[in-house]
Amino acid sequence: MSESEQGLFELPRKYLELQVEARALAESVRDIAARADESDGIDVDVRKRLQATGLAGVTVPSRFGGRFEEVDSLAVTVIRERLAAECGHLDSLFAMQGIGSYGLSVGGTPAMQEYWLPRVANLDAIAALGLTEPDVGSDLKALTTSIEEVDGELVVNGHKSFITNGGDADFYSILGREGEGYSLVLIPADTPGVTTERPHQIIAPHVLSDVILKDVRVPLDHRIGQQGKGFSLVLATLATFRVSVAGAAVGLAEAALKEAVRHANGREQFGVSLSRLGSVPEHLAMCWTDIEMARSLTYRAAAASARDARANLHLSSMAKVAATEVAGRVVDRAVQVMGRYGITRGSNIERLYREARPMRIYEGSTEVILDSLAKQLVKDGTL
Ligand SMILES: Cc1cc2nc3c(=O)[nH]c(=O)nc-3n(C[C@H](O)[C@H](O)[C@H](O)COP(=O)(O)OP(=O)(O)OC[C@H]3O[C@@H](n4cnc5c(N)ncnc54)[C@H](O)[C@@H]3O)c2cc1C
């Protein structure tokens, strides 16, 4: 086998180096990870440690102060894999810098890009994306937030719900109706009329707020991209970042399996190691198999997305479904293997169990993604 064939299914050096960098960062927050993962506001120390690495620059193109020429889905994915294994809070903080700012990177006015994006890249400004509303989740086209051009300004009214980084963000990329279409508009958090409230606590604490916009006025250049074309920027964001959720899910699942293996190796029942008892070895081996399967698809989809995110959205979507469903199965089996120690409050496995659950809901729920994949499959008629 030639050298290039041997490397066919290996990550190129650039990504291996990023993995090493991300692993070092993840390990550096180990002492504060539990505290940060219980917090519903951005942890100052986690932010500082991420900032010190410069890794957030991966979420912004280099012409605006980021690390690589373009935002690279595979780079984001391998980093998230390492971060999510140690600290969900850190993973979310890293990923949202890209998810909240990508529309601006590809469609903003030069002045807005030059002002905000270097700050996003070095974590001086926190980004957020506001799509969801109290009565609107998967069916985004039903959203009611309004954007109107009045006297040379944009006036925004609406209520965004479950917004990651809400309350702590420096700006919100908000999707709203404008005329017959939908526009994306950048709203600095300190604009008069912007308020936040935290009515929800979820099972895996997360920096989440509702963002209320009441007669919020911003200059016209705060519209990101063309009037009425906001959905295409949201789609571009999903196409670039959806696969990175799969990376986070693989990392989380692997961390759960490690916990289960450690526990099974260290405990005896009926005079034998738990790791050799009944169906336990089968559970462990099946988890390992599931994780490797999910990782292979995730890396392949992320590499395809890095080449052409829109053309390969079907692969990113499959990876997101596959890896998050695997994470759900793996944490459940890991908890079972660990018995009562798997459901002890404050334990690492309990945290992983809770953090795996929302992954199957946000950035396209499993069912919604499968529905659109099925439509594409039937329409195209070929595999
Ligand atoms: C931790 C977390 C962070 C989030 N961060 C953000 C954020 O930063 N910005 C933001 O805008 N939103 C955010 N959200 C909201 C998230 O995007 C929504 O939860 C998601 O879009 C699903 O909407 P919903 O929860 O209203 O579920 P619904 O849309 O009400 O769906 C409920 C159930 O019905 C199923 N369903 C819905 N439609 C279909 C269909 N057509 N076919 C088959 N099944 C269907 C779904 O799969 C799901 O099981 C976040 C959510 C969470 C949990």
Query: Which segments of the chain belong to CATH 1.10.540.10?
Result: 3-125
Which atom of ligand 1 lies closest to the CA of 365?
47
pLDDT, tens digit (0-9, with 9 covering 90-100), for 137-148: 999 999 999 999
Residue 248: band (very low, low, confident or very high) from pLDDT cuts 50, 70, 90: very high
How many whole angstroms from 140 Cα to the centroid of ligand 1? 10
Q: Across all residues in the chain, what is the average pLDDT?
A: 96
Mean pLDDT of 240-269: 98
Percentage of residues of the chain with pLDDT beyond 70: 98
- CA-proximal residue: ligand 1, atom 14 (nearest): 162
What distances in angstroms separate CA 33 from CA 9, 58, 166, 349, one per listed residue? Answer: 32, 22, 20, 13
pLDDT of residue 9: 84
Give the start-end residues of each E strand in 28-170: 127-130, 146-150, 153-164
SS3 277: coil
* Residue pointed to by tokens 């925004």: 156
Hey, what are 269's tokens?
Answer: 């029942």
- CA-proximal residue: ligand 1, atom 52 (nearest): 362
Residue 383: band (very low, low, confident or very high) from pLDDT cuts 50, 70, 90: confident
Q: Does the pLDDT value for residue 333 go beyond 80?
A: yes
Q: Does the pLDDT value for residue 1 go beyond 60?
A: no
> d(Cα 353, Cα 335) in Å, to the nearest integer?
8
Pocket test for ligand 1, best of 94, 237, 362, 371 (most atoms within 8 A of CB): 362
Residues with CB under 6 A from ligand 1: 129-132, 137-138, 162-164, 202, 206, 208, 358, 361-362, 365, 367-368, 371
- CA-proximal residue: ligand 1, atom 6 (nearest): 163
Query: Domain 128-227's class?
Result: mainly beta
> d(Cα 116, Cα 60) in Å, to the nearest integer?
11
pLDDT, tens digit (0-9, with 9 covering 90-100), for 167-198: 999 999 999 999 999 999 999 999 999 999 99
Q: How many CA atoms lie within 13 Å of 334's alpha carbon, on the beta-carbon side? A: 32
Query: Which segments of the chain belong to CATH 2.40.110.10?
Result: 128-227
How many whole angstroms from 70 Cα to the centroid of ligand 1? 28
Q: Per the CATH hierarchy, to which homologous superfamily does domain 231-378 belong? A: Butyryl-CoA Dehydrogenase, subunit A, domain 3 (1.20.140.10)
* Residues, the chain: 383
The contacts of residue 182 (CB under 8 Å, 6+ apart) are 141, 143, 175, 176, 228, 230, 231
Residue 205: band (very low, low, confident or very high) from pLDDT cuts 50, 70, 90: confident
pLDDT, tens digit (0-9, with 9 covering 90-100), for 81-124: 999 999 999 999 999 999 999 999 999 999 999 999 999 999 99
How many whole angstroms from 138 Cα to the centroid of ligand 1? 5
Q: Does the pLDDT value for residue 152 go beyond 70?
A: yes
How many whole angstroms from 364 Cα to the centroid of ligand 1? 7
- CA-proximal residue: ligand 1, atom 25 (nearest): 137
Pocket test for ligand 1, best of 40, 93, 97, 162 (most atoms within 8 A of CB): 162
Question: Which element (helix H / strand E) includes 91?
Answer: helix 88-99
pLDDT of residue 8: 78
> d(Cα 83, Cα 37) in Å, to the nearest integer?
12
How many whole angstroms from 368 Cα to the centroid of ligand 1? 9
How many whole angstroms from 362 Cα to the centroid of ligand 1? 5
pLDDT of residue 200: 87
Nearest to 103 by CA among 173, 18, 3: 173
Pocket test for ligand 1, best of 39, 89, 99, 132 (most atoms within 8 A of CB): 132
Residue 4: band (very low, low, confident or very high) from pLDDT cuts 50, 70, 90: low
Query: Which segments of the chain belong to CATH 1.20.140.10?
Result: 231-378
pLDDT of residue 201: 87
How many whole angstroms from 3 Cα to the centroid of ligand 1? 45
Which atom of ligand 1 lies closest to the CA of 367?
47
Pocket test for ligand 1, best of 368, 369, 372 (most atoms within 8 A of CB): 368
Buried b (16+ CB within 10 A) or exposed e, 251-287: bbbbbbbebbbebbeebeeeeeebbebeebeebbeeb
> d(Cα 355, Cα 33) in Å, to the nearest integer?
13
Which atom of ligand 1 lies closest to the CA of 138?
29
Question: What is the separation of C-alpha 184 from the centre of its chain, rounded to a whole number of angstroms?
Answer: 20
Which CATH number, 1.10.10.10, 1.10.540.10, 1.10.8.50, 3.40.250.10, labels domain 3-125?
1.10.540.10
